[in-house]
Amino acid sequence: MKYEIVIGLEIHIQAKTKSKMFCRCDAKYFNAAPNSHVCPVCLGLPGALPVPNKKAIEQCIRLSLALGCNINMFSKFDRKNYFYPDLPKAYQISQYDLPFGYEGNVNIDLSGSREKQIRITRVHMEEDTGKSIHSETKTLLDFNKSGVPLVEVVTEPDFSDVKEVLSFAKRLKQIVKYIGVSDADMEKGQMRFELNMSLRKTGETSLPKYKVEVKNIGSISVLEKVITYEYNRQQEILEKGEIPVQETRGLRDLSGVTYSQRVKEEANDYRYFPEPDIPPIIYTEKEIQELRQTLGELPSEKKARYINDYGVDAALAETLTATKAKAEWFEKAIEGVEDKEVIVAVGKWFVGEVVALMKASKSKLSQLKIQPKQLVALVQLLKSSKISAPSAKQVVVAMFESGIDPETYIRENGLEMVNDESAIQAVVEKVVASNPKVVADMQKNPNAYKFLIGQAMKELQGKANPQQVDKLILARLTSGSN
Amino acid sequence: MNTKYQTIESLHKELIARSFTAVELLNSYLENVDARESELNCFVSQTREQALEAATKVDSMIESGREISLVGGIPAALKDNFNWIGTKTTASSKILDNYVSPYNATVTQRLLDANAVFVGKTNMDAFAHGSSTETSDYGVTANPYNTQRVSGGSSGGSAAAVAANMSVYAIGSETAGSVRGPAAWCGLYGFAPTYGRNSRYGVVAMGSSLDRPGVLANCVEDCALVTDIIAGKDSHDATTIPVEKVEYRKALSADHTGLKIGIPKQFLDERIDPQVSARVREMLAEYEKLGATLVDIDLLDPKYAVAVYTIVCRSEVSSNLARIDGIRYGHVSEKKAESVLDQIAYNRGEGFGNEAKQRSMTGAYALSAGYYDAYYKKAQKVRTLIIQDFANAFKQVDVIIGPTMPTVAPEQGVTKNNPLFGELADMLTESSALAGLPCISVPVGVNNENLPIGMQIFGPQFAEQLVLDTAYIYQTRIAK
């Protein structure tokens, strides 16, 4: 490719708090009647004052810590002044020069188990605006969203292709959900992206002379489309020997097509100044340490531990740690289990069978009937040859559907493995006897006997160890006796 | 019934003793309103209905033997920038002519909880921008001592109402000298405690880092008593001092031996009306006679405070007034707008008076990119110097005394062609306001034209008691 992408991201995340950022209104506004979660503060009435929500600030600091940021122990809020009908105070309380978090980094996975570090510029706290609902003839305003706490994460322009951006977006969402800062439900607008993108000739290292900003991207899939669209659009301009206009572009729909909203010359001067209504926010090292304690194990740490301590491979570890709920289920299962082979098998069965069944039935982990320890029991039955692998698959379906104990199900359905060699031998004799053609074919094709294994397993209702059956058939055929 | 200039406590005792009812007391004050309101213009709106209801309730409480607070049933006035549910809160600007408060300011709430009786919302300079009430969209408030003169501002309506005996005390607010100034020009006590002692919640903001509610009254006890009710930490105002309750009235004492009084030479130089400075010097001599030590001190020249105040306050004003856009409340223009931003511009352009526009524009300029460092940031640095300047001074002295205003109340019309009148008139109150110091203006008699002269006392942050006590010494032992 002739051009290389340069992308930096700004991500707005609605912090999960009971009340809004600067007042006591309920922050859960989704599906609420318009303007039902409002008060003098979030409506910007004359004389109303903001009082910062400590929990929201803690969420911002926790996310900063999870993203490896330094923390400003002395921080403050600032006013960002601009007029817009859905901004009731005509300023947004944000943070200008002393964000809670700064200079962090996040590792993202690239193909071939390579990793790349994305630098985090800053993590700061601000408040959401109200919502404008436009129609042909009028605009309606809903201030339920006004003052909902937002954590803004800003990255350096470290992304050089769309996959990196998507990988980062997923990683960030995962971290945010892990530490409980937000549900990051994009359909509810809890996580939104702003893209700063430009192109440079492949091989160049300096930043391009222009930057296009695309605001309000509501999902990872739209993000991907926007990047593709912008790549083509900007490339076309560059090909003509021109430089794309430095501007803010918006989206009309989910197609990824952008349109010019505002060019730089008209850009607002936000007249930032320290918010006089809120005293500076001061934290001690001890308080930050305490907040760090509340993070728990981060997904990257968990993944590394699974690989190192349990011998799980990277791909499985990634899947097991994809969500905190999954990891917790898995950890509950393997608690007290020493045998790494069992641990890995439990991981595989969990991801390969249980999660697959869950997806197929669109159920949630919290609703699972099968209990973590039951899965371990099944794996151990399998390992000790009490049951065959094909039977185990049947058992796990039953466990998933009813929560039945594997032992009970196996007993009730007579699925115990046939370990009696003479019984298997008898079946082998029977199969060999009734398939003379196959036996004859072995002269030409030494693998022809494999068909007999299937026949024997069928006869044994899958309750034997296929290797054992294989061994016995082969022994029977090569012994010469007929 | 002779209620003229009685203290809150004495009126309270009479109410309890049933010498008269709260309704009778209210009516006697309303008679004064009827007699002089057309001449003085103290109120933007009168709230007789609410007052009667509150007074009636107090009477029934007294009747049933229930305890009432000291301010219960005592006629009072509330500056029009304090939100009070169901009343118009215009801050004397036509842009808020249609705004009816859906909530109470904390100060309002605390007084209502104490069964205060408000006779009305008092006139002020629009959005408190001024020291004369001449910037009010509802007309100037005349000075009760001489109706050709201004009452001062911005709490001019509050001052005139108390001075004309239309209310026993009044709530005002000060950003620089908006309580002290009109108190001085109307011959009253005007007290503003340390910034953050009184909640700003529900007070239409002017300069957020400077605003503080205060009390205008006829005596120190009343200032202390009302402050006891309204002061204290407020969970709605993050800048309030984390002390739940204060009790200044009980602790009032006129017995301070060895008080060290600082006299800043810059407060008594040639810029001050000679009659004003002479009167203040006389009073200082009286303090000395009572055993106080007078110490000449050197403070930063007030001109720095004027500059810093003008920039900081106007910057905050530009941001604070921006919310009044006519979208949710406030004046809506009839003009056809092409865009929503045009609509907002028309609403604001028609609704705001000149003073608000000037201050908003200069403030926005000071905050704009490229000028922020030269103006706002520099002003904040000088503000820090002013705070340090006072801290140094208070190492030598307990309190500082000087004239409140450089002159007596000027003639009406004074602000015409004088765009900085407010900031210059407040030159002696701005430095202490920038430092958030507790301060009181005390009435020290009149000049040869029978116009009141005010003397201000201020002390270190949190030294409200000492400031009130120093005023109490004046009231009980010097003025007598």
Q: Reply yes or no on whether the pLDDT at B1 is more than 70.
A: no
Closest among B366, B239, B251 to B308, alpha carbons compared: B366
Whether residue A133 is found in the same domain as residue A167: yes
Name the minimum distance, in Å, from the CA of B296 to any CA of chain A: 34
User: Which residues does chain B have within 8 Å of residue A272's beta carbon, measured at their own beta carbons?
Assistant: 367, 372
Whether residue A71 is found in the same domain as residue A203: yes
Question: Whats the size of chain B, residue-wise?
Answer: 480
In a domain, B95, yes or no: yes
Q: Reply yes or no on whether the pLDDT at A264 is more than 70.
A: no
pLDDT digits (tens, 9 = 90+) for B22-72: 999 999 999 999 999 999 999 999 999 999 999 999 999 999 999 999 999
Q: Can you give the pLDDT at residue A64?
A: 98
Residues of B serving a catalytic function are 79, 154, 178
Per-residue pLDDT, averaged over A58-70, amounts to: 98
Whether residue A69 is found in the same domain as residue A95: yes
Name the minimum distance, in Å, from the CA of A96 to any CA of chain B: 13
Percent of chain B with pLDDT over 70: 99
Show which of A239, A263, A291 is a domain's final residue.
A291
Whether residue A312 is found in the same domain as residue A277: no
Do the Cβ atoms of A281 and A52 come closer than 8 Å? Answer: yes
Shortest CB distance from B99 goes to which of A46, A84, A272? A46
User: Which residue of B lies nearest to A89 if distances are taken between CA atoms?
Assistant: B323
Q: Reply yes or no on whether the pLDDT at A231 is more than 60.
A: yes
Q: Can you give the pLDDT at residue B2?
A: 63
**Are A47 and B203 an interchain contact pair (Cβ–Cβ within 8 Å)?**
yes
Whether residue A81 is found in the same domain as residue A67: yes
In a domain, B419, yes or no: no
Whether residue A22 is found in the same domain as residue A82: yes
Range of the domain at A224: 3-291
CATH (domain of B215): 3.90.1300.10
Which residues of B touch chain A, with CB atoms under 8 Å apart? Answer: 81-83, 89, 91, 96, 99, 102-103, 105, 200-205, 207-209, 235-239, 315-316, 318-319, 322-325, 327-329, 340-341, 344, 364, 367-369, 372, 376
Which residues of A touch chain B, with CB atoms under 8 Å apart? Answer: 39-40, 43-52, 79, 81, 83-85, 88-91, 139, 141, 269, 271-273, 276-279
CATH (domain of A473): 1.10.10.410
Whether residue A275 is found in the same domain as residue A147: yes
Mutate to test the interface with A, among B103, B233, B373, B380 (most CBs of A within 10 A): B103
Cis peptide before A19 (omega within 30 of 0): no
Question: What distance in Å separates the CA atoms of residue A106 and residue A64, rounded to the nearest whole number?
Answer: 11
Q: Can you give the pLDDT at residue A138?
A: 87
Q: Can you give the pLDDT at residue B430?
A: 96
Show which of A291, A322, A343 is a domain's final residue.
A291
Of A146-160, A186-200, B294-308, B413-427, the poorest mean pLDDT is in B413-427
Whether residue A46 is found in the same domain as residue A184: yes
Name the minimum distance, in Å, from the CA of B323 to any CA of chain A: 4
Q: Can you give the pLDDT at residue A271?
A: 96
Q: Reply yes or no on whether the pLDDT at A415 is more than 90.
A: no
Question: What distance in Å separates the CA atoms of residue B144 and residue B125, rounded to the nearest whole number?
Answer: 17
User: How many structural domains are present in chain B?
Assistant: 1
Whether residue A431 is found in the same domain as residue A346: no
Per-residue pLDDT, averaged over B150-174, amounts to: 97
Higher-pLDDT residue of A475 and A480 is A475
Q: With the C-alpha atoms ordered B199, B205, B211, B212, is the resulting torsion angle positive or negative?
A: negative
**Are B236 and A49 an interchain contact pair (Cβ–Cβ within 8 Å)?**
yes
Whether residue A237 is found in the same domain as residue A381: no
Whether residue A310 is found in the same domain as residue A385: yes
In a domain, B47, yes or no: yes
Q: How confident is the model at residue B320 (pLDDT cuts 50, 70, 90)?
A: very high
Q: Can you give the pLDDT at residue A482?
A: 47
Q: Can you give the pLDDT at residue A1?
A: 65
Show which of A291, A311, A333 is a domain's final residue.
A291
Per-residue pLDDT, averaged over B344-353, amounts to: 97
This complex has an ipTM of 0.96
User: Which residues does chain A have within 8 Å of residue B236's beta carbon, measured at their own beta carbons?
Assistant: 49, 51
Per-residue pLDDT, averaged over B172-201, amounts to: 98
Range of the domain at B150: 8-251
Average pLDDT along chain A: 92
Per-residue pLDDT, averaged over A180-198, amounts to: 95
Shortest CB distance from B323 goes to which of A44, A141, A278? A44
pLDDT digits (tens, 9 = 90+) for A82-112: 999 999 999 999 999 999 999 999 999 887 7
In a domain, B343, yes or no: no
Whether residue A41 is found in the same domain as residue A92: yes
User: How many structural domains are present in chain A?
Assistant: 3
